[in-house]
Amino acid sequence: MLEILALIICFLVALIATPYIKKLAFRIGATDAPNGRKVHQEAMARIGGLAIYFAFLVGLVILQPESSYLLPMLIAGTIIILTGFMDDVKELSPKVKLLGQLAAAVVVIAGGVRIDFINLPFETQMQLGWLSIPLTLLWIIGITNAINLIDGLDGLAAGVSSIVLVTIASLAALQGNIFIVGMALILLGSTLGFLWHNFHPAKIFMGDTGSLFLGFMIAVISLLGFKNVTLFSLVVPVMVLAVPISDTFYAIVRRLVNNKPLSAPDKSHMHHCLLRIGYSHRQTVLLIYAMSALFGLAAVAFTLSTLWVALLVLTTVIIATELLAERIGLVNEEFRPVGKFLDRFNGTKRT
């Protein structure tokens, strides 16, 4: 199968290219110095995403996929790579970074990547009309930055992205969507080749070059891959990406509850919380990998299930996510509405 061959070659290209990218990073000053919010103790090269991008391009040459979406995706991906690279080298302002993301999103939207409708139960559809473009824009920008936000530990963003890509490729294969299978697999191979050098203790970081590119490409191919899922089409990519989405969602809630600006940085993301309650660096990464894999399995079960089973899976995922957030203090130690409700319920029952 050509897609598997492309995956292997992309893995090898990224594996071989990453040490050269590391040398380039130190030569041009694209390094990440330690500070109060970082967990590393020495300067690290941070444009490792270039290796993922180059390997991905090699994969495209091998597969030569035929789709009207390919050229817009390639142009937009290059815009994202340039935005991330410039930020890794010169530290762009948040507004300039957002402008680059908006430009890339507009390119793919103009190329036809849109959420035109949402499938609902009982063979019904909700046509979005004029809401199609802003909703698509919100999804692409949101997922791009969600992957960027979880890039806080060695191998975390690359590993979670790899698990997400395995899930996307599997679901696309079940639907017979060869284009999405091919795109997911070459991106997977490229990411795994980089992850070899990025897993703890990391020798190089992907930087915004990699996290923005991975987030953007995952956002686009997840839309293209799941828009025709029979039940609750938009729920499937949300479930697949539940780890980065929930981390971003609770970061917003945390800032609102604590009266802090939404753009304020902190050390209370999921990986920070797990480190704080006693897990090691490696244990934290592996635990979040396991969470991502469970969400991926839930997405597969959701897709293949009947309506009522799918609703049960969705409800279980939502409650489990909330309980986890409360358990590790993802908002703060006092914010545990579900836990307090269960405490009152159990107390009432005992009396």
What is the C-alpha to C-alpha distance for residues 105 and 143, in angstroms, rounded to an integer?
A: 11
Q: Which position has the higher pLDDT, 173 or 262?
A: 173
Listed ranges 18-32, 239-253, 297-311; the one with the highest mean pLDDT:
18-32
> 113-160 pLDDT, tens per residue?
888 877 766 667 778 788 889 989 999 999 999 999 888 889 999 999
Closest CA to 8 of 188, 198, 197: 188
> 155-189 pLDDT, tens per residue?
999 999 999 999 999 989 988 899 999 999 999 99
Q: What is the pLDDT of residue 101?
A: 97
Listed in sequence order, the residues at least 6 apart from 187 whose beta carbon sits closer than 8 Å to its beta carbon are: 10, 52, 56, 59, 165, 214, 217, 218, 221
Q: Which position has the higher pLDDT, 158 or 228?
A: 158
CA distances from 307 to 121, 123, 168, 302 (A): 7, 11, 21, 9
Q: What is the pLDDT of residue 122?
A: 62
Q: What is the pLDDT of residue 99?
A: 96
Of the pLDDT bands very low, low, confident and very high (cuts 50, 70, 90), residue 47 is very high
Q: Which residues are annotated as a binding site for Mg(2+)?
A: 148, 208
Q: Which residues are annotated as a binding site?
A: 148, 208
**Residues 313, 315, 319, CA angle at the centre, nearest 5°?**
120
Q: What is the pLDDT of residue 351?
A: 44
Q: What is the pLDDT of residue 166?
A: 95
> 5-26 pLDDT, tens per residue?
999 999 999 999 999 999 999 9
Boundaries of every domain in the chain: 2-350
